[in-house]
Amino acid sequence: MIATSPNNPTDIADLLAFYASAGADEALEEEPVNRFAEMAPKSPERVPEATAPAGQIPAPGPNQPSRPGISRLPDAPPARTPAATATVPDEAQAALARQLAATAASLDELRQHMAAFDGCNLKFTAKNLVFADGNPNAAVMLVGEAPGRDEDIEGLPFVGRSGRLLDRMLAAIGLDRTSVYIANVIPWRPPGNRTPTPHETEICRPFIERQIELVNPRVLVNLGGPSAKTLLNTTEGILRLRGNWRVHTTASGTAIPAMPTLHPAYLLRTPAHKKLAWRDFLEVKAKLQALG
């Protein structure tokens, strides 16, 4: 907690250096934003009690603008019917994400649905939706955790330092971005690169699951613990998981072999473990050869 505001240039520079070292590398807004005020209904009319039982959120009427956190596509089915009024906003948004993901018939449609979805708070601090990079017909799909600063700016996954290491790891087994498809569990950068919350992960999970289903790779590579835990339905740590084949099962029941491995950002901090990731990548290469 800072009791007084510094007003000489040296103190200000020290304070900024302190914030940067603590991971706060961006000023999001010049003024604080009162999100609760934004969420208040714009109409002066009271909502009749019969349609808004205590503790529940009334569904917007057909001509009401949707509120932040509740998105609708123009041609999508209504987000909520009066009978399906949500009591837990995050669950309502996760349900909407599931519905939007399930109705996306192609990767392009999925991208459009995700771009129109306002149900994940991370979207409002991110600069770009980071959907994917690479070849959608690739045999290998890699899934990381969430975009960082460089990815947010470019709108592409793994373009920063860890992306450059990932490119070298792929090259070592004869692959590159024309022969793999890359995405993240979370498609919007968490502010200051903080860890996504479990709610944020649950809200975004249907999108990445549908993305995997639509790409239908022969092999999935989970980069790091959060990707492995989310997509392989396990709570085991990545150091135990890595190197062993698992299975990712899609909503339609397709079983995709999955190799959990260490995240490139972790390898940059722990270079002694690069040999473990090298072994995992050799497993992937062997699996691709075995699958023909």
To ligand URA, the closest distance from the beta carbon of 285 in angstroms equals 22
The whole-angstrom separation of Cα 277 and Cα 264 is 9
State the nearest-atom distance from the C-beta of 11 to ligand URA, in Å. Answer: 34
Amino acid at 151: E
Segment 233 to 292, residues that bind ligand URA, using CB under 6 A: 265
Choose between 147 and 206: whose C-beta lies nearer to ligand URA: 147
* Secondary structure string (H, E, C) spanning 45-99: CCCCHHHCCCCCCCCCCCCCCCCCCCCCCCCCCCCCCHHHCCCCHHHHHHHHHHH
DSSP secondary structure letter of residue 260: E
Q: Which of 119, 134, 144, 225 binds ligand URA (CB under 6 A)?
A: 144
Site string for ligand URA, 91-130 (x = CB under 6 A): ----------------------------------------
Verify binding: residue 187, ligand URA, rule CB under 6 A: no
Q: Please say whether the beta carbons of 124 and 68 come within 8 A.
A: yes
Q: Are 237 and 262 in contact (CB under 8 A)?
A: no
Report in angstroms how near the CB of residue 148 gets to ligand URA at its nearest: 5
| Residue 152 in the binding site for ligand URA (CB under 6 A) | no
User: Which window, 11-19, 20-28, 29-37, 145-153, contacts ligand URA (CB under 6 A)?
Assistant: 145-153
* 196 binding ligand URA? (CB under 6 A): no
| The one among 69, 134, 148, 187 contacting ligand URA by CB under 6 A | 148
Q: Is residue 147 part of the contact set for ligand URA (CB under 6 A)?
A: yes
**Among the listed residues 90, 151, 202, 213, the single contact to ligand URA using CB under 6 A:** 151
Any contact of residue 201 with ligand URA (CB under 6 A)? no
> At 252, is the secondary structure helix, strand, or coil?
coil
Q: How far apart are CA 63 and CA 133, in angstroms?
A: 37
Instruction: Identify whether the C-beta of residue 143 lies closer than 8 Å to the C-beta of residue 184.
Output: yes
Question: Does residue 190 belong to the site contacting ligand URA (CB under 6 A)?
Answer: no
Residue with tokens 């934004």: 38
- Joined tokens for residue 7: 């007003």
Helix locations, 180-224, DSSP H: 198-215
C-alpha dist (Å) from residue 46 to 92, 110, 281: 23, 37, 60
Query: Which single residue brings its beta carbon nearest to ligand URA?
Result: 144
Binding site for ligand URA (CB under 6 A): 144-148, 151, 157-158, 162, 184, 265
